[in-house]
Structure 1
Amino acid sequence: MRNMSATFLRRSRTGYSSHSPNWASRAFSIRSLFGFAAPSESRLEVPESSRFRGSDGSGFVAGPRSRVGASWVRRLEETLGRSGCPARFGGFRPFATRAAVEPATSDGLTVEGIISNQWTILDESEGDWKSHAAAIAQSISLIKRRLQWKNLLVRLELLSRQLDKPYLWDDPQHAGKISREHGTLMVKMKEVMEFEQELLEHIDMIKLAREENDADLESESLKALLRMRRFSKEKELEALLAGEHDSCSCFIEVQAGAGGTESMDWAAMVMNMYKTWAQRRGYGVTVVDEMSGEIAGIKRATIKVDGEYAFGYAKAEVGVHRLVRISPFDSNKRRHTSFAAVAVIPILGGGFSHVQINESDLRIERFRAGGAGGQHVNTTESAVRIVHIPTGVTATCQNERSQHQNKASAMAVLQSRLDRLEMARQAQMNAQHTQSLTEISWGNQIRSYVLHPYRMVKDLRTNYEVSDPDSVLEGDLDGFIWSYLSDLMDKDEASP
């Protein structure tokens, strides 16, 4: 993209400028809005985990140790809405104004305009630029819908206002959470905006090439649109992983159903399938627990899958998996049906196992202790009651001699109660993912793997099927996963 822009700029100086007075705006790229480094005053010590990076490697600081993180992000927002940007792009006015102008080409064509024109979408091999542009525009529209674009804008505006508060960093923990979420949303929206802008720039390039009868330039831009069209399908699928815990690592648990050795062997095959799938995707795989069968296979096993969006992908596999084959353990070579259940549990991270308590969420009450304890205890307000306002959980201590000791003890009790409450919440959530382990039998399967009398793997939820079961058992699961996620999203969009 940068090479192409440079080529256009060079050509504009040698003869295109007389025909294209607005070429300066045509050469403008949204990457210039994001490619700059953070201002020097924000170059403080910030942990790498608090730096958010876009697809082009650019980054900005949004971490709890940087008190200038908010001002820098605000400057980025202002840059997105800077009046100096070409009017055709409209830019992205400061989110606080909520008056964003839709990006457009030099003659006013927008992504929505491309869709409304209803250009025919042909096969990729046809080499028609309008066909490519229409396919990409539909992908961008779908991505925005799946990301709930309008809700993201509202949320980003709310977070921006919180970052503007002068005393936000008096509570570094809360400020860091706000800053990180704001940064994540900025990166997510930036990627979509860049993709949309690149489409419009290539359309301008093709129109310019035709004006100047530059076949090489038109061919180069057409190839770029084709690459974008193929890449847009990947972005569509990535937009499916927008759930609260989709980005987490996960545990995958496989349990053999009724059927003895047959089912245990099948459970081992399923577990190996997931290990291979995870390794293909570059995830780390660790065996957490395994109970072997008496003759073959496993009764139950759990692996930990470490990697970004591991849970988002693997959640599509929750349910009962059914195998039909000629049994290798049957001397009469009869056909057997076996079942294995799969559960997927997100790993929520250390922050969820020990609830963080903010002082601003506490109401601390002091009163005189009652009962035995002597004159000092009964005549001073040494007893402490602490109320956690968001949950209503209360802890009281009045046994210690000093108020400080009672407060420390009450805080320990409160921490324990909140941790227990959080664990109960996680257990309830995990039960939704592990409910498939209760009924491992006929009629509850989500997918059938048939090796005899014909060969096929079919997902009963989406009707997606393949005729090569060996490739599936060797970890080629992406087709089933994407089909399920797409179907799930379509159902959510169709629901009122």
Structure 2
Amino acid sequence: MISLILKRSAFHEQNHLFKPQFCFQLLSSLTQSKSHNSYTSSQNHSILPSGYGFLGKKNSGFSSSSLQRLEIPSGIFCNGRFYGSQSQTAIEPSTSDGLTVDGIIANNWTILDEDESDWKSHASAIAQSIHLIKKRLKWKNLLVRVRMLSFQLDKPDLWDDPIQASKISREHGLLTGKMNEVKKFEQELLEHIDMIKLSHEENDPELELEAVKALIQMRRSVKEKELEALLVEEHDSCSCFIEVQAGAGGTESMDWASMVMQMYKKWAQRRGYRVTVVDEMPGEIAGIKRATIRVDGENAFGYAKAEDGAHRLVRCSPFDSANRRHTSFAAVAVIPILGEGLSHYQIKESDLRIERFRSGGAGGQHANTTDSAVRITHIPTGITATCQNERSQHSNKASAMAVLQSRLDKLEMARQAQMNAQHTQSLAENTFGNQIRSYVLHPYRMVKDHRTSYKVSNADSVLEGDIDDFILSYLSASLDKDEDEL
């Protein structure tokens, strides 16, 4: 009967994917009139509302996946205070015979390629990915943070401060969503394993094949989540400004700064981000002295922040008649755009000095004819922002204010984190020994990231915007070097 229900409800569908909720409802309707003894239940077992778990055989009946109950305190300590009072129970999902995700990792099953049919290999790969995601999310800290946010959301006076309440609600929803995704992966993995074990008991190769296919698909999905888990910081989902400034070296460095800016434009376009030129100061002969672009898109700052620092170029100079080898530097700063209501620094109008001048550049019907360009200086910090790329003075002022706000926000975040507050004011130091990456075009061709030692020989591809591997390598190294417990 069970095999017939499974096949009719799952494998005869067009996509051949098992639908656990449908089958559970079907089995429940067939067994409504049966005795409660048809399902085994004890103090350490309970019936789940979905999944394969109920198909595990036990005592001549069918029971849910085992759930190991772990007693943990419901409250947390934060800033010397304890949040919560009632005890709660955390449950760790397992298969019908007690196998957990941690147990799969402990078994150390060999991980083979995706095209292999060994279900243990796929299960082990998925379990390792889940473990890595938890590590990157700092799982235990995440649980504590969600508990504290839940406590704050329950306060009756929460919405007395709408801006703060909105921040708390937004963060709680984001973190809860990440937690639920991980828990869903754990439950699905164990349900698929239960199905494979059931197929062995009933000698049903068709059922086993479909469950293995589901594991392979899940293996791909959880691998994608591994990459998403790299973006765990508060502002990673924001859009950003990318600033490039030529270092010492005259025309050589200005040309290199222009190449770096073009690299980021092409990278952003590859990812489907929208790129807007905010400010650009051309060099006297070639290249740019400095430039700022705005990159709009999901997780733009989370990825681009890996590029923050000095970039070094080694090549035979096209501006040297003797064709000698030169070394040039360009500094890159990446600044998050926090959005309305999320700014860390409140700007006072009295602290601003606004200057208007004629825009430079290639000219045209409008450029160089009116005082449309705007430079805004924040007097207390000395930070400036300039925009001359828009047609109207009003638009240039709005863009310059957005850049200034983001720079001040980053300065404030750096100060709060006890970092170097001068970083966004002067960019990184453009000298030997401070570069994060070297681009060598002569006498050999190679691009190497000095933070991770990751390198590629196809320098042309990198300069065309293919920098995702460098970004992911850096983000992975930054998170995975933390050996704290989950």
Same structural fold, with TM-score higher than 0.5 when normalized by the shorter chain: yes
Q: Deviation string for 1:122-171 (max 9, x for gaps)?
A: 33343321111111111111211221212222222222233333444455
Counterpart of 1:294, as a letter, is: E
Question: For residues 469 and 101 of structure 1, do their structure 2 counterparts lie closer, same or farther at Cα, with a shift above 3 Å needed?
Answer: same
Counterpart of 2:280, as a letter, is: E
The residue aligned with 1:279 is: 269
Alignment partners' CA distance in 1, 2:477 and 2:181: 24
The residue aligned with 2:362 is: none
1:88 aligns with 2:78: no
Alignment partners' CA distance in 1, 2:433 and 2:426: 12
1:491 aligns with 2:478: no
The residue aligned with 1:246 is: 236
Alignment partners' CA distance in 1, 2:231 and 2:440: 30
1:29 aligns with 2:51: yes
Alignment partners' CA distance in 2, 1:189 and 1:144: 9
Counterpart of 2:211, as a letter, is: S
Alignment partners' CA distance in 1, 2:425 and 2:483: 25
The residue aligned with 1:216 is: 206
Q: Is the 8 A contact 2:21 2:51 kept in 1?
A: no
The residue aligned with 1:293 is: 283
Q: Is the 8 A contact 1:105 1:201 kept in 2?
A: yes
Alignment partners' CA distance in 1, 2:283 and 2:413: 30
Alignment partners' CA distance in 2, 1:303 and 1:91: 52
Alignment partners' CA distance in 2, 1:7 and 1:127: 26
Q: Is the 8 A contact 1:327 1:335 kept in 2?
A: yes
Question: For residues 169 and 290 of structure 1, do their structure 2 counterparts lie closer, same or farther at Cα, with a shift above 3 Å needed?
Answer: closer
Counterpart of 1:276, as a letter, is: K
The residue aligned with 1:337 is: 327
1:306 aligns with 2:293: no
Alignment partners' CA distance in 2, 1:435 and 1:110: 51
Structure 2 residues without counterparts, runs of 5 or longer: 1-14, 32-37, 41-45, 53-62, 75-85, 347-407
SS at match of 1:101: strand
Alignment partners' CA distance in 1, 2:334 and 2:267: 14
SS at match of 1:270: helix
Q: Deviation string for 1:275-334 (max 9, x for gaps)?
A: 111121122211111111112111101111112221111111111111122222233332
Q: Is the 8 A contact 2:310 2:436 kept in 1?
A: yes
Alignment partners' CA distance in 1, 2:108 and 2:304: 36
The residue aligned with 1:106 is: 96
Aligned CA-pair RMSD: 3.6
Question: For residues 344 and 10 of structure 1, do their structure 2 counterparts lie closer, same or farther at Cα, with a shift above 3 Å needed?
Answer: closer
Q: Is the 8 A contact 1:112 1:137 kept in 2?
A: yes
Residue identity over aligned pairs, in percent, reads 69
The residue aligned with 2:309 is: 319
Q: Deviation string for 1:241-281 (max 9, x for gaps)?
A: 11122222211111111222221111111111111111211
Match of 1:229 among 202, 219, 222: 219
Deviation at 1:111, TM superposition (A): 0.4
SS at match of 1:124: coil
Counterpart of 1:439, as a letter, is: E
The residue aligned with 1:4 is: 18
Counterpart of 1:121, as a letter, is: I
Number of matched pairs: 374
> Which structure dedicates a bigger proportion of its chain to strand?
2
Q: Is the 8 A contact 1:279 1:285 kept in 2?
A: yes
Question: For residues 258 and 169 of structure 1, do their structure 2 counterparts lie closer, same or farther at Cα, with a shift above 3 Å needed?
Answer: closer
Bigger Cα displacement from structure 2, 90-99 vs 315-324: 90-99
Question: For residues 237 and 337 of structure 1, do their structure 2 counterparts lie closer, same or farther at Cα, with a shift above 3 Å needed?
Answer: same
The residue aligned with 2:361 is: none
Match of 1:465 among 423, 435, 455: 455
Match of 2:472 among 476, 482, 489: 482
Question: For residues 427 and 150 of structure 1, do their structure 2 counterparts lie closer, same or farther at Cα, with a shift above 3 Å needed?
Answer: closer
Alignment partners' CA distance in 1, 2:339 and 2:444: 44
Alignment of 1:183-222 (within 5 A): 183-222=173-212
Counterpart of 1:185, as a letter, is: L
Deviation at 1:187, TM superposition (A): 1.1
Counterpart of 2:254, as a letter, is: M
> Which structure dedicates a bigger proportion of its chain to helix?
1
Counterpart of 1:315, as a letter, is: K
Alignment partners' CA distance in 2, 1:478 and 1:430: 27
Alignment partners' CA distance in 2, 1:219 and 1:123: 17
Alignment of 1:155-170 (within 5 A): 155-170=145-160
Question: For residues 7 and 436 of structure 1, do their structure 2 counterparts lie closer, same or farther at Cα, with a shift above 3 Å needed?
Answer: same
SS at match of 2:131: helix
Alignment partners' CA distance in 1, 2:67 and 2:118: 24
Counterpart of 2:66, as a letter, is: R
The residue aligned with 2:255 is: 265
Question: For residues 176 and 350 of structure 1, do their structure 2 counterparts lie closer, same or farther at Cα, with a shift above 3 Å needed?
Answer: closer
Deviation at 1:207, TM superposition (A): 1.8
SS at match of 1:182: helix
Q: Is the 8 A contact 2:238 2:302 kept in 1?
A: yes
Q: Is the 8 A contact 1:318 1:433 kept in 2?
A: no
Alignment partners' CA distance in 2, 1:97 and 1:288: 54
Structure 1 residues without counterparts, runs of 5 or longer: 31-84, 357-420
Q: Deviation string for 1:168-189 (max 9, x for gaps)?
A: 4455444433333222222111
